[in-house]
Chain A
Amino acid sequence: MIDSLVVVPDADAIGLPAPVWFLKTLLNVTFILHIIPMNFALGGGFIAAVSHFIGRKTGHAHHLMLSRSLSRMLPIAIAFTITLGVAPLLFLQVLYGQYFYTSSILLAWPWLTVIVLLILSYYGFYLYSFRWESLADRQLRVVLTSAILFAVIGFIFSNNMVLMLTPERWMSVYQESPHGVYLDLKDPMLFPRFLHFLVGSFAIAGLLVLIIGMGKLKSEPDYGLWAIRHGIRWFLFPTLLQLGVGTWFLRSIRHDVMLQFMGGDQAATAYLVVGLSFVMITIVLMFLALNSDRPKGLAYAGICTTAVVLVMMSLMRDFVRDAYLKPYFDASEFSVQPQTAVVTLFLALLVISLGVVAWMVRKAWLATHPAQ
């Protein structure tokens, strides 16, 4: 399977500080936590731009109110995308460093451009939020630029995550140029994978719109109900589109890996089947909510079933990674030198910190929502 031109770095001489299953769990859990605000920021930026555009063209007040609500959320969503993104990046490096570093080096300049794009896009969203009035008719340009930059970041990430899975291409890429100017456009998985994420982000950000609507139900019932329904539409249309995009993505996965999802591997097939079933359940729930006068309960249920979908998709993503790397990656080869005390300290501090954060958020919520 491995021919002589395939070069893969050796795993680090220093052992893992915890068992593989533990690190992998942390990787997947923190990844799921990361993609929630990431989807809010990515899809939310575009939804804000679209609402802004429609609101200005038609004078529809609710659209303008929605873009204003989103403008306040976007900087916070990005902040937590970054903060919660640090953890999966850590655990990715410790488990898959030899693949991830190599692909990052081959893509070095585009990869480092992420930092510049992120700073620009982030400041753009702040501008959109804090200078809402004084930006006047430049608002739309600002938010759209930021949203596009954020999508470009996603595209570069997709590039790296795909290239790290295909060591058989590395040496020829490196031989072409050692300057790290490569952009991986040839992989059949790249575009469907990126599109899958992008379209998915519209749907998840639709849930953010829905949540905004639920928050406004009491204070501004008309706008609240409108935003709930509008959010559901934003969820439904991309999700229906996803049936096509997702299928394209699945078909673009290396054939032998794809077959694992089609019964070849029990766990993989289960992830797919459970994931798709919950997508269907969510679609039905959301359709019902759309046509209901009291959509809150149905919408909550839809959010919960979507969470299950996200978990399944992340597990599938993890499975694809391991299946692609199977010829080069054997987790049992890692030596483990457990740092039990440090891991315990980490978990303890995590629990304490979550308590502190919950306390602060509660205080802030009560102070900013005195009526409730």
Chain B
Amino acid sequence: MNFPIWDVPLMGGGLLIGFVSILHVFVAHFAIGGGLFLVLTEHKAYRENDMRILEYVKLHSLFFLLVTIVFGAITGVGIWFTISVVSPSATSALIHTFVFAWAIEWVFFFVEVTAAFIYYYTWGKLDRATHLVVGWIYFISGWLSLFVINGILCFMLTPGEWLHTASFWDAFFNPTFWPSLVMRTVVALALAGLYALLTASMIKTDEVRANLVKYSTRWLFPAFFILPIAGIWYNIALPPLAREISMGGAPAVTVFAGLTILLSVLIFVFAYFYPYRQPAKFPAPAAAMFLLLGLMVTGVTEWVREAVRKPYIIYDYMYSNSILVAHKNDYYAEGILKSAKWVTVKEVTEANLHEAGATLFRLQCQSCHTLHGYNGIALMVKGWDEEFIDHQLDNLDQLKGFMPPFMGSVDERHALARWLAGLNRRGAVSIELTEPPARPAAAAEEIEHDR
């Protein structure tokens, strides 16, 4: 609409965002919980007066630095890059609302990065007390950056009173802020444990390995008790539609939501019986498996969180296809092509029907659907005739609660239905909207040919 729509064949932009953000979330939570792990384990080493534990913390802090400061930080920037090319309108809305929240997060991030480097580079050089203080500064600033980003993330699903007041504080301390903060905090602790299991299971000395494997496993337990309670709390704060989508409204989402719970329970049960009860026998490959399971839970959970937000990208404010809810009714009478930027078809005519249909697909559908790949539309409309598709489009939000309504004039809807109905007839179709000028004539011929 306002911005050009980036066409990512087969995969779709949404999947790309998912890919980058799942990797980032998996590392970023570790960056927070892992900070506390480092400093508390350093305390433990001094308390037990065991230099072998201290050696482990040193090594683990290198691993921590390489994973979080490099991969974690860059993928964080990566999410930004990705969302701004896939959903520029939503990114812009977020930036305009939260630029100073992000600026505050950046301040914490700056402290965090400095503290991480100093913590690592001053092992054995700083006195113990000061070194621990640096560790604590790292963890506190890291957790505060979570505090800030959590408000922005939750806003997208539950903007709450902001919709009426446009106040920053309403946007930030929105209905899911607190339960989400609790959930993310305990997940951060659990991930700290999971990552630590990997490094601890590689310790050569049996006694130290058993000690630290068992100790690392304990970091998973708070999540086991707190996540169910916080999860229910979170669920209550969700908009009714989102709750329904996760609990039966959309089967795929429900299955994934169930999978989140199942995988989490699996991790905790195995963690209790294996590394916790038999820490000496816990090998590194098993730790790697645990970590992989953790990545899967992260992936599935983030996917569900994104999926329940449909049909919006910012709830009740902006639809998934970047059209503002407030503008919805403008397009029924006037049509959407007229006011859309980046399109060459401004009005539906008999001659440009095909091109208009393809353009409308790009404007209204392509943010979630590809043509032949992920969430591919061609397969979905296979076997449907034009009239049926038109009926579906006319009642889209009624028939599929997780989809936005079709927003356009009757002519435009017909054009889209015609184009969709033709997808499977013509075989492989690509949406080349804007070929050189010869194209409209060619498209018209094609339509003639179809008849």
Contact = CB atoms under 8 A, between A and B. Distances in A.
Contacts of B141: 353
B110 A115 contact: no
A357 B111 contact: yes
A319 B262 CA distance: 57
A262 interface: no
A346 B107 contact: yes
B166 interface: yes
B46 interface: no
B88 to A, nearest CB: 4
A303 B66 CA distance: 32
A342 B148 CA distance: 12
B433 A7 contact: no
B75 interface: yes
Contacts of A188: none
Interface in B42-98: 62, 66, 69-71, 73-75, 77-78, 80-82, 84-85, 88, 91-93, 95-97
Contacts of A284: none
Nearest to A352: B107
B114 A361 contact: yes
Interface string A173-202: 011101110000000000000000000000
Interface string A134-176: 0000000000000000000000000000000000001100111
Given A119-B70, A171-B342, A343-B100, A179 B6 contact: yes
A12 to B, nearest CB: 5
Contact of A178 (B16, B108, B434): B434
A73 B250 CA distance: 52
B81 A339 contact: no
Contacts of B5: 105, 178
Interface string B305-344: 0000000000000000000100000000000000001101
A10 B118 contact: no
A89 B80 CA distance: 10
A337 interface: yes
Given A13-B324, A364-B126, A114 B81 contact: yes
B355 to A, nearest CB: 12
Contacts of B74: 82, 115, 118-119, 122
A342 B168 contact: yes
Contacts of B362: 178
B19 to A, nearest CB: 11
B270 interface: no
A93 B98 CA distance: 12
B451 interface: no
B169 to A, nearest CB: 8
A325 to B, nearest CB: 16
Contacts of B342: 7, 171, 174
Contacts of A85: 77
A183 B342 CA distance: 19
A111 B6 CA distance: 13
Interface in A83-112: 83-87, 89-91, 93-94, 97-98, 100-102, 104-106, 108, 111-112
A108 B3 contact: no
Interface string B109-152: 11101110110011001110010001001000100000000000
B113 A111 contact: no
Dominant secondary structure at the A interface: helix
Contact of A7 (B114, B169, B341): B341
A236 B75 CA distance: 37
B293 interface: no
Contacts of A106: 4
Contact of B97 (A14, A175, A346): A14
B376 interface: no
Interface string A68-85: 000000001001101111
A173 B101 CA distance: 35
B96 to A, nearest CB: 4
A83 B73 contact: yes
A14 B93 contact: yes
Contacts of A23: 99
Given A10-B2, A76-B117, A364-B121, A94 B110 contact: no
B268 interface: no
B384 interface: no
B281 to A, nearest CB: 32
B269 interface: no
Given A17-B99, A76-B117, A349 B104 contact: yes
Given A178-B4, A179-B9, A101 B91 contact: yes
B380 interface: no
Contacts of A98: 2-3, 92
B91 A93 contact: yes
Contacts of B85: 101, 104-105, 108, 111-112, 180
Contacts of A61: none
B256 interface: no
Q: Give the top 5 A-B pairs by smallest Cβ distance, nearest first.
A: A101-B88, A175-B434, A14-B96, A115-B78, A178-B7
23 contacts: A76-B117, A82-B77, A83-B109, A86-B106, A86-B109, A90-B103, A93-B95, A97-B91, A98-B92, A101-B3, A102-B88, A104-B81, A114-B81, A119-B75, A122-B74, A130-B62, A178-B4, A179-B8, A339-B100, A349-B104, A349-B107, A357-B114, A361-B114
